[in-house]
Amino acid sequence: MERIIEGNTEFLCWAILGEQQERIDRARAAQPIVQANLRGRLQALRARKNLPEDQLPMAAPLHGLN
């Protein structure tokens, strides 16, 4: 009985690790798309505020946190 429990525990550990690796792989694959999206949004924000390429827009103040 103990061997079955140990085997099941090991299987579950490998299954969890496999799922985590799949998530990591998907995140790595999506990273260039996410970065391109953020770059595009930043360029659009700079254009709206007439900022040069090397200047980041200021963040909006958080309400209630002075």
Q: What confidence tens digit (pLDDT) does each residue in 3-47 have?
A: 555 667 777 787 888 888 888 899 999 999 999 998 899 888 888
Distance CA 66, CA 11 (A): 51
| pLDDT given at position 42 | 86
Inter-residue contact 41 to 53 (CB < 8 Å) = no
Q: What confidence tens digit (pLDDT) does each residue in 41-66 have?
A: 988 888 888 888 777 777 666 666 54
| pLDDT given at position 30 | 92
